[in-house]
Structure 1
Amino acid sequence: MTNIESLGANSYARSTDRRDGQSEALGRANSAEQVRDRILCYPGAVRMPANGMELYIVRDFLTLDECAAVIALIEANRVPSPVVGDAPVSPHRTSETCYLYPGPAPVTAVETKLDLLTGLEPRYGEALQGQRYAVGQEFKPHHDFFDTEQPYWLDQVTMGGQRTWSAMTFLNEPEAGGRTNYPTAGVMIAPKAGNLVIWNNMDEYGAPNSGSLHQGMPVEQGVKYVLTKWYRERPWCQ
């Protein structure tokens, strides 16, 4: 497994030190090379032609049975989706979320596949999140990385630091709408059950990449289910 723990991680404590300098960026850039090699060796993985960002699609990452099992968990446990640094419920993100912690067989199956895909140690990953989007619901344009100038960053430093990689799996196909748009990169991806999209939130130098801007377009007909996993630069802790 890839070890992306940067120098001095054990000394990270909540303070006014924002902890996002050159050494951290270098560690993220070096880790990305190893993750990139792992992804490209995975069956069905293809790098997408995306302007200014690193983006891959893995076809048939989950089976339809695995997708159905995860959807059932989402339906049983969904709550309004939160946004980091925002109010508990935000008009910026209007879906519903289900936190999928280790234990249930469907969760274990997905986590095992993600470990094989990325080569990252499980402790660097946040808990899986399932999202449900009904008609009209969306996730407006945003970045997954953390803005180090925002007050919430001081807490995120102690929880694993930057979000480096994002992995999102489509669990079904709504009748209309619900595409994932990367406006800066010039990529639009339609939901297809079982397909996974994974991207690097950092640039080639390990710094947050504004080109990774993306959005979940509104669902026009039906319901959309996705499964999301975010990875940190150091072990994640809540």
Structure 2
Amino acid sequence: MTIHSASRWAADADAAYIAAHRGVQRFPGRDLTLFIQRNFLTPDQCDALIERIEADRRPSTIADANGDGYFRTSETCDLDPLDPFVATIDRQIADYAGIDPIYGEPLQGQRYAVGQEFKAHTDYFEPHGPDFQKYCALSGNRTWTFMVYLNIPEAGGATRFTKVGKMVQPETGKLLAWDNRRPDRTFNPATLHHGMKVRSGVKYVITKWYRERPWTS
């Protein structure tokens, strides 16, 4: 897709800037700033990312373990930022968001096989959680999430925003973008979302998170 370019990147995304992209859809509810952009990536780009995820995947993990060993059952791939193709995708997301890449975590891929899911969760780290300092002391909390579906599983695998009753079905190349905060910059529990179980086939996505301060691993 064609992306209108910001005159300069910023430390945070501007919802009005994202809303100006051609063909973007905005969730109409007031409790959640959520955008949907179909055909953000091409099928060829998606296939190339799937190949990389398949080649270097590992069991997914969670922060602040809650005792549920089945809370997140997917696999994760840490995509190589030195890979020129991955760097191109990373830049494409930054241009769409209008956020300076220095605020972004490295791009991740996720793979969900039959029966795998990520139960309802938020992407930001709970300020009073036991691992908050471990994950947020240097770069701060997560501000925006950008997630792209890379394929359509045969059945299941939708993303359900449980607090606002919004369900999004996977489509190849479709991007979801949401602000993890309210307008007053406090973190928003209405971003609670469930990566629902895949019933048949395999689901692949990539996810890009941005932080309050420049990323430091």
The answer for the alignment partner of 2:213 in structure 1 is 234
User: Residue 51 of structure 1 contacts residue 184 of structure 1 at CA under 8 Å; is this kept in 2?
Assistant: no
User: Residue 146 of structure 2 contacts residue 207 of structure 2 at CA under 8 Å; is this kept in 1?
Assistant: yes
Instruction: Summarize the alignment of residues 72-83 of structure 1 with structure 2, pairs less than 5 Å apart.
Output: 72-83=51-62
Q: What secondary structure is seen at the aligned counterpart in 2 of 1:62?
A: coil
Matching residue within 47, 56, 79 for 2:35: 56
Measure the CA separation in 1 of the matches of 2:216 and 2:185: 22
| Identity among equivalent pairs (%) | 44
The answer for the alignment partner of 2:3 in structure 1 is none
Q: Which amino acid aligns with 2:147?
A: M
Matched, 1:212 2:191: yes
User: Residue 151 of structure 2 contacts residue 203 of structure 2 at CA under 8 Å; is this kept in 1?
Assistant: yes
Matching residue within 55, 68, 82 for 1:103: 82
Instruction: Summarize the alignment of residues 104-143 of structure 1 with structure 2, pairs less than 5 Å apart.
Output: 104-143=83-122
Matching residue within 198, 205, 223 for 2:177: 198
Q: 1:41 to 1:51 in 2, by over 3 A?
A: closer
Question: Deviation at 1:85?
Answer: 2.6
Question: Deviation at 1:111?
Answer: 0.8
Q: 1:215 to 1:51 in 2, by over 3 A?
A: farther
Question: Deviation at 1:45?
Answer: 1.6
Measure the CA separation in 2 of the matches of 1:42 and 1:101: 28
**Count of residues paired in the alignment:** 209
User: Residue 103 of structure 2 contacts residue 215 of structure 2 at CA under 8 Å; is this kept in 1?
Assistant: yes
Q: What secondary structure is seen at the aligned counterpart in 1 of 2:78?
A: strand
Q: What secondary structure is seen at the aligned counterpart in 2 of 1:37?
A: helix
Instruction: Summarize the alignment of residues 104-183 of structure 1 with structure 2, pairs less than 5 Å apart.
Output: 104-183=83-162
Please say which structure displays the higher CA radius of gyration: 1
Question: Deviation at 1:2?
Answer: 4.1
Q: What secondary structure is seen at the aligned counterpart in 2 of 1:67?
A: helix
Q: What secondary structure is seen at the aligned counterpart in 2 of 1:127?
A: coil
Matched, 1:224 2:203: yes
Measure the CA separation in 1 of the matches of 2:168 and 2:131: 30
Q: Which amino acid aligns with 1:163?
A: R
User: Residue 10 of structure 2 contacts residue 98 of structure 2 at CA under 8 Å; is this kept in 1?
Assistant: no
Larger helix fraction of residues: 1
The answer for the alignment partner of 1:8 in structure 2 is none
Measure the CA separation in 2 of the matches of 1:215 and 1:121: 28
Measure the CA separation in 2 of the matches of 1:184 and 1:43: 28
| TM-score normalised by L of structure 1 | 0.84
Measure the CA separation in 2 of the matches of 1:45 and 1:111: 19
Q: What secondary structure is seen at the aligned counterpart in 1 of 2:185?
A: coil
Measure the CA separation in 1 of the matches of 2:187 and 2:163: 14
Measure the CA separation in 2 of the matches of 1:106 and 1:229: 15
- What's the Cα RMSD here? 1.6
Where has structure 1 moved over 4 Å in runs of 4 or more?
none
Question: Deviation at 1:46?
Answer: 1.6
Measure the CA separation in 1 of the matches of 2:29 and 2:91: 28
